[in-house]
Amino acid sequence: MLINSLLYNFGRYVLLLWSATAKPERFSMYYKETIRQMDAIGVGSVFIVLLISMFIGMVTAVQFADQLGDSFIPKYYIGYIVRDITIIEMAPTITCLVLAGKVGSNLAAEIGGMRQKEHIDAMEIMGVNTAAYLIMPKIIAAVIVIPLLVAISAFVSIIGGYVATVIPGTLSHTEYVLGLRTFFVPRYVFIMFVKALVFAFLLTSISCYFGYYVKGGSIELGEASTSAVVVSNVLILLFDFIIALLLT
């Protein structure tokens, strides 16, 4: 039964995405909706991303400094570790896991509410391709703004490491900056953006899928929002591992 359910949902998910890629009836409508979603997904999530990223950088730096202790490893390695772990893993993965909870649940609830109030049925009667109009602008907006949020997250996390180590005097400004500039691999930035794009697509499309096919009342809508977050998080972690295997 579990395999049948997975195959059924995967097939329906693929068919929904296929319908969502249809040519827009009016490009101006899609453009306005995409801009609105960019504001809702991007601007609306900046504060929580900044807050989480700052503490990620601070905690990473403090814990690694504690692990170094009185060892013979140079202190500037703190900046080096904070930079790499932030770029490769923390910024794309943690940011998108948080956005799956914030943005994903909102998208599922928004589309699910339209389904329950029969707004989607009314749009379909008027000849509107609801899958394309409701889903594609959200996906386009997400794959544009979420990588930007991830880049901001990486930058703020590095600043957080600086605040947590340089200001208390654990190491000097010169040592931290030296660590940031040591052993830098530009390919890691490419990996970060690949993860951000894949995760953005996953959390948006999956949340829209669960909202689009919701049935029942408010309880079912809540369950759909929860399922969207859980499935998005699981797939983000799965694809995080796959991308790491392929690109590192």
Residue 12 forms part of a structural domain = no
- List C-alpha distances in Å: 166 to 70, 161, 169: 18, 8, 5
25 pLDDT higher than 90 = no
**Within 93-217, where are the H helices?**
95-99, 105-116, 119-125, 130-165, 173-181, 187-212
Question: Within a domain: residue 27?
Answer: no
Q: What is the three-class DSSP state of 70?
A: coil
> What's the domain range around 183?
51-247
pLDDT tens sequence across 161-197: 999 988 888 888 888 888 888 888 889 999 999 999 9
Query: Does residue 172 belong to any structural domain of this protein?
Result: yes
Q: Can you give the three-state secondary structure of 197-231, one letter per residue?
A: HHHHHHHHHHHHHHHHCCCCCHHHHHHHHHHHHHH
- The answer to whether residue 233 is domain-embedded is yes
27 pLDDT exceeds 90? no
Query: pLDDT tens digit string along 103-125?
Result: 888 888 888 888 888 777 787 78
What is the number of domains present in the chain? Answer: 1
- Domain membership of residue 225 (yes or no) is yes
Q: Report the pLDDT averaged over residues 208-226.
A: 84
Residue 12 one-letter amino acid: R
What's the pTM?
0.89
Contacts of 42 (CB under 8 A, 6+ apart): 141, 144, 145, 146, 148, 149
> What is the SS3 assignment for 248?
coil
Q: If residue 59 lies in a helix (H) or strand (E), which one and from where to where?
A: helix 46-68
User: What is the distance between the alpha carbons of residues 228 and 105, in angstroms, rounded to a whole number?
Assistant: 7
Handedness of CA 21, 27, 28, 29 (dihedral sign): negative
92 secondary structure, DSSP code? I
DSSP 8-state class, residue 42: T
Non-local CB neighbours of 86 within 8 Å, separated by 6+ positions: 56, 57, 60, 153, 154, 157, 158, 161
Residue at 97 is within a domain: yes
Question: What's the pLDDT score for residue 122?
Answer: 84
| pLDDT recorded at residue 64 | 86
Is 214 inside a domain boundary? yes
Percent of the chain surpassing pLDDT 90? 33
**Which CA distances in Å does 59 have to 44, 99, 171?**
25, 20, 15
Q: What is the DSSP letter of 44?
A: G
Q: How far is CA 219 from the centre of its chain?
A: 26
The answer to whether position 204 is within a domain reads yes
